[in-house]
Structure 1
Amino acid sequence: MAESRRSYTYDPVGTGEPYRMESGQLWRQYLIGAIANIAILCTGYSMGWTAPINIKLQNNDTSQSPLDHKPSNGEIAWMGSVLNFGAIVGPFIGGFAASTIGRKWGLMSSTIPLLVGWILAAVATNMAFLYAGRIFWGIAVGMLFTISPMYCAEIATVESRGALGSFLQSFITVGFLLVYGAGPFISYHGVAYLGMAVVVLFAVSFFFMPESPTYHLLKDRTEDAAQCLMTIRGRSRQGVAEELATMKADVLASMEKKATLRDVFRGSNFKAFYISCALVFFQQFSGINAVLFYMTDIFKASGTDLDPSIATIIIGAVQLIASFITPFVVDRLGRRILLLISSCGTAIGLALLGMFFLLRHVGSPAVANMGVLPVIALVLFIVTYCWGLGPLPWAVMGELFPIEVKAAAAPPATAFCWILSFLITKFFPTISGNIGMHVGFFIFCACCVAAFFFTLFIVPETKGKSLQEIQQLLGAKNTEPEKA
């Protein structure tokens, strides 16, 4: 019977029973991407750790805290903020690791600062231990937010690259929900031991995953790249030959253009860089950290008697559900349409929150009849943020930079994100306390409106395009390797 596409038989495990598998196994790259993103789950767990732990540390029942004193509000604020110091440094460590020991072992090396952080948290007797632990977690966060999008973009086919890039936001929300759900109901040390267990789970499971084929090609190890590609695609050596040849041509072209940090600020590379930085700016200045910081106040303002711990779990579940929608639709709808929907939805949610808190600030009697409004606005904001502004800046960043520039460009762009995160986390509560919470929400709303128009006019659509085609979109002059 004639077949519509070329196929042949092979025996991948030496059983003597060859079978047809030329179409490949798409699920493999999703499984590998998911296992790689267990590390991102670890960062979500670490970042969300403060939500249940702050309550334990400041509780009058000192048996719940390992510290020798009850921390002040200022100490708690610094504990929340210092993670960003490590996250600013981490991208440069991650970029160096990705280019020297590989994407896989760069991801594996992130377990070191993660475990050091958890050990410090477990043995803590004063705030200095917790500050240090949070800084180590921040280093891991910076490393992983640099390497993980790079790894996922390099193992993905064109058709699934957006979905794998969206895994970052999905898995970080799993980490948040895990610590939100478990933290209030287990001991302080139980939270730390669970964090360690998740890190060990990642290290053991990812140990068996392949390296990025692109990294092997960069090191001129063609057969190693072929073996990795066979594992990722579920195809034979002949079945990956065409894709391998294309990847090798792209890598050879990139190796002719050795990139330094200076090259990031030239031509199409700079366009990719400023688009990436703008997207992470809009991500942070959507006010996600401020909204989550004030989540308890928002629920209280609505007049509900819901326990803050339960409210946090509910919002974590909403984040999780919304985040897992994006991987299923991003390669069908495209990046731009999701970013447009996301920036529009977050702007509306923030405008409603700003209006509610403005009315409360001026003592309007209308607030009494608007109790459900802040909750609706919060859910709208969270859901639409998770559809676009949360995951897609990282996915797009992994696509925009050419191979030779990624290791040089990703660290400063990622560090920029965490500098913004620190500024918002540390200073927004003070500013809002002095001039009113509504002002901050209106500022964030304006930034989301700006994100809408920036996406509409500047951000290119990368759906269904090869990495070389994306470079052509950005205006790269020499996207084809020179012929001999």
Structure 2
Amino acid sequence: MMEESGSKLLQIAAAVAGNMCVMAGGAMLGWSSPIISKLKEDPINNDNPLGRTIDDTEASWIGSLTPVGALIGSFLAGYLAERWGRRITLLTSVIPFSFCWLLIAVAKTVEIIYVARLIGGVALAIPFTVLPMYAGEIADTSVRGILGSFLQLFITIGLLWSYCIGPYVSYTVLWIACAALPIIFFIIFYPMPESPYFLFANGRKTEAINALAKLRGKSIHGVEIEASEMEVSVTDAYSHKSSVMDLFHVRSNFKALLITSALVTFQQMTGINVVLLYSETIFKSAGDTGIDASVETIIIGVVMLISSFITSLVVDRYGRRILLLISSAATALSLGALGLYFYLKNGLEEDVSNIGWLPVASLIVFIASYCMGWGPLPWAIMGEMFASDVKSKASGITVFVCWGLAFIITKYFSNVATAYGDYTAYWIFSVCCILGVFFTLFLLPETKGKTLQEIQYELGGIPGKN
């Protein structure tokens, strides 16, 4: 009997629908860029609901409290994903998203905005923790990298949503436009199937096989072999009651945790959140480039979108490591050039009008190269690295590391810039990108084309299993 060809259409549809939650998170992150500019302007002739201007410290808290909320949300999301399932946990993100935008809507003081951003961070942590698990567990090996890389693509679309709309509409219109996204996500993701891995792990074998058949576009008979292998893999993983300590006592788990934590560390040490949260401020401080700062920010968003889309197309062809190596080298060079511009302008106080194009060019190269590797691939790899029984716990820890660093970097970037010059901060980021080259070259295993079980064998050092 010929093997059924099947279809990957539902896998792609489920990943796209799930990533609408990430798009909602990207819009929430990007909201601060145009809004901080509004809140810093004269409230008499400006759309400022606070009735006063905010200072730099208040602006830094608006930008950095979202990562603090994500710190809290990462462990909550991991717990719920294990207890309730990937699908239900993703759907619950609509609750904190809604509270976030409700508070933004009624805010008359900066403290209310602080609370809203904190709750928004909790909402953002849910897709960042759960979606890589879900995408990795529903996908064929041949498209797992593509589906995993969607996270960066859709957070970019969300950022661009705020960047394009924010400068040209009122405070009220912007929050309404952003608040609509989590509702749209809930509607289109609700019909999607649960992860077969989760269903097998909870003894729901019939549901698991039905979900797998739907996802593969095959009959139940056509997925018998894969379902059996998946059930054995899950049974082996859950043969004993797992705990957080298994992440440190089991060789494959500990190695995977070190790798994913290192990946998100290098990701954040590119300085990406400084660029995203303070993009308009960076352009304005660079001086007159001949282009409005809001338009420059939109250009950055478009570059992110195009680069993220290209990465989704090539990640399963060329693999993870080569894209990360290219990404590391290019981000290091572009950040070094950006630091040089600000060193000449602010450190040496030289006339830089003849190279006014350099900040825009540097950030375009930085964003394009970041979206090629360090943006999407840590999340794609996180969805591949861990055994089923510890995946939710490990994902929570990895996301905690990511957003902990994001908070520190976004909150204290302005302090470093004030004390030592913003060029110093960019050069620090550049050096970290260079270190990322060596990490990728010597320590990161390639996961392209390998099943989840084969990756576990490789991490555990089991001979003959590859």
Structures share fold, TM-score greater than 0.5: yes
Task: Determine whether 1:106 maps to 2:102.
Answer: no
Q: Is the 8 A contact 1:302 1:372 kept in 2?
A: no
The alpha-carbon distance between structure 1 residues 438 and 55, as it changes in their structure 2 partners (threshold 3 A), is closer
| Residue of structure 2 equivalent to 1:352 | 337
Q: Which residue of 1 aligns with 2:69?
A: 86
Aligned equivalents of 1:339, 1:233: Cα separation in 2: 30
Range 254-263 or range 139-148, more displaced: 254-263
Which residue among 226, 229, 248 is the counterpart of 2:209? 226
What code does the residue aligned with 2:196 have? Answer: P
1:329-344 to 2 correspondences below 5 Å: 329-344=314-329
Residue number in structure 2 paired with 1:412: 397
Q: Distance in 1 between matches of 2:170 and 2:74?
A: 32
**Counterpart residue identity of residue 418, structure 2:** G
Q: How does 1:255-334 map to 2 (within 5 A)?
A: 255-266=238-249, 267-292=251-276, 293=278, 296-298=281-283, 301=286, 303-334=288-319
Asked which structure has the greater CA Rg, the reply is 1
Which deviations, in whole Å up to 9, do the C-alpha atoms of 1:93-130 show, x marking residues without a partner?
Answer: 10111011100000001111011101111111211221
Q: Is there any run of 5+ residues in structure 1 with no aligned partner, and where?
A: 8-21
Deviation at 1:300, TM superposition (A): 5.6
Higher RCO (Cα < 8 Å, 6 or more apart): 2
1:383 is aligned, of 346, 354, 368, to: 368
Aligned-residue offset at 1:138: 0.3
Contact 1:301 1:371 in 2 (8 A): yes
> Partner letter of residue 180 of structure 2?
A
Q: CA deviation at 1:339?
A: 0.5
Q: Pick closer, same or farther for the CA change 1:65–1:264 going to 2, 3 Å.
A: same
**Cα separation, partners in 2 of 1:56 and 1:270, compared to 1, 3 Å:** same
Give 3-state SS (helix, strand or coil) of 1:325's partner: helix
- 1:17 is matched with which residue? none
Letter in 2 for 1:140: A
Offset at residue 374 of structure 1 (A): 2.5
Which residue of structure 1 aligns with residue 35 of structure 2?
A: 53
Task: Quote the offset at 1:295 in angstroms.
Answer: 5.1
Q: Which residue of 2 aligns with 1:24?
A: 6
Give 1:316's aligned amino acid: G
User: Does 1:246 pair with 2:246?
Assistant: no
Whether 2:116 is the aligned partner of 1:133: answer yes
The answer as to whether partners of 2:321 and 2:441 remain within 8 angstroms in 1 is yes
Counterparts of 2:319 and 2:326, CA distance in 1? 11
TM-score by length of 1: 0.92
Change (3 A) 1:187 1:32: same
TM-score (norm 2): 0.95
**CA distance, structure 2, for counterparts of residue 436 and residue 125 of structure 1:** 34
Q: How far 1:81 moved relative to its partner?
A: 1.2
**Shift in alpha-carbon separation, 1:408–1:362, aligned structure 2, 3 A:** closer
1:185 to 163, 168, 171: 168
Q: What percentage of aligned pairs have identical amino acids?
A: 43
> What is the DSSP-based 3-state SS (H/G/I as helix, E as strand, rest coil) of the residue aligned with 2:232?
helix
CA distance in 2: counterparts of 1:341 and 1:441, whole angstroms: 19
- Equivalence for 2:196: 213
CA contact (8 A) 1:69 1:126 kept: no
CA distance change for structure 1 residues 378 and 452 in 2, over 3 Å: closer, same or farther?
same
What is the rounded CA distance, in whole Å, between the counterparts of 2:83 and 2:35 in structure 1? 37
Per mean C-alpha deviation after superposition, the further-off stretch among 26-35 and 42-51 is 26-35
Contact 2:347 2:421 in 1 (8 A): no
Task: Name the SS of the counterpart of 2:264 in structure 1.
Answer: helix
